[in-house]
Amino acid sequence: MALFDMLKDGLNMNPGGMKNRRNPQGFDEESKKKLAMVAIPAILWAVHKAVREDEKKQKELDDIATQNRKLDPNDMTKTIEEANPQEGKDILDKILGREKESVTKNIAEKSNVSQEEVDAVLDKITPTIIEMLQKEKEDKGVSYDDQLREELKEMQRDPEIGTASSTAKEYIEDDKEHSLQDGLMDILGKFLR
């Protein structure tokens, strides 16, 4: 599927697609693009953790992606631009639950940007990721878990986010309990440091 490569191409062609219209003076577009790319393995790990802990979450995520499908694999720039931030919020609420607020606040503090900007990036990139996972599941019958492992293995080769992807892959493979907040901060921290 090369989910990451498709998203990266879309972000490289139009980093402005991540723009938060409410706070245009904030985080510069290049930093938002980089945060979005590093957020990909973090979101994949959070999806894995959520689905593993509650099988109903897989169906809920599938339902959200099916109802709101805007995915155009031939034009990822347009897909990211048109991603519905409310859908991103709904998905993040499902996978992060009560920890969403503290996770985004922590990311904002460590990256020295507003929480609004972090929310804007995550709310835009998350629906696109879930739609891509769901489409691959429909087309090839590949489980989320198998897709996540394969994607993270591919992303490890990328010089910009390889370390973050390796950390996410280790978390999935070691099968130990990690708190959602610690795991996400460890993965995203590769960008924030």
Q: Is the dihedral of CA 103, 111, 128, 161 positive or negative?
A: negative
Asked, for residue 20, whether it belongs to a domain, the answer is no
Asked, for residue 174, whether it belongs to a domain, the answer is yes
Say whether pTM exceeds 0.75: no
pLDDT digits (tens, 9 = 90+) for 131-150: 888 877 888 888 777 877 77
pLDDT digits (tens, 9 = 90+) for 61-87: 777 766 666 677 677 777 777 888 888
Tokens linked to 70: 């805007």
Asked, for residue 19, whether it belongs to a domain, the answer is no
Residues of the chain by 3-state class (helix, strand, coil), percent to 5: 80, 0, 20
Q: Which helix (H) or strand (E) holds 77?
A: helix 76-82
| pLDDT of 28 above 70 | no
Asked, for residue 159, whether it belongs to a domain, the answer is yes
Q: Which domain holds residue 154?
A: 3-14+29-192
Asked, for residue 21, whether it belongs to a domain, the answer is no
Asked, for residue 22, whether it belongs to a domain, the answer is no
| pLDDT of 180 above 60 | no
Would you state the pLDDT for residue 181?
A: 54
Asked, for residue 71, whether it belongs to a domain, the answer is yes
Asked, for residue 144, whether it belongs to a domain, the answer is yes
How many domains does the structure of the chain reveal?
1
Residue 173: pLDDT band with limits 50, 70, 90: low
Say which DSSP state 175 is in.
-
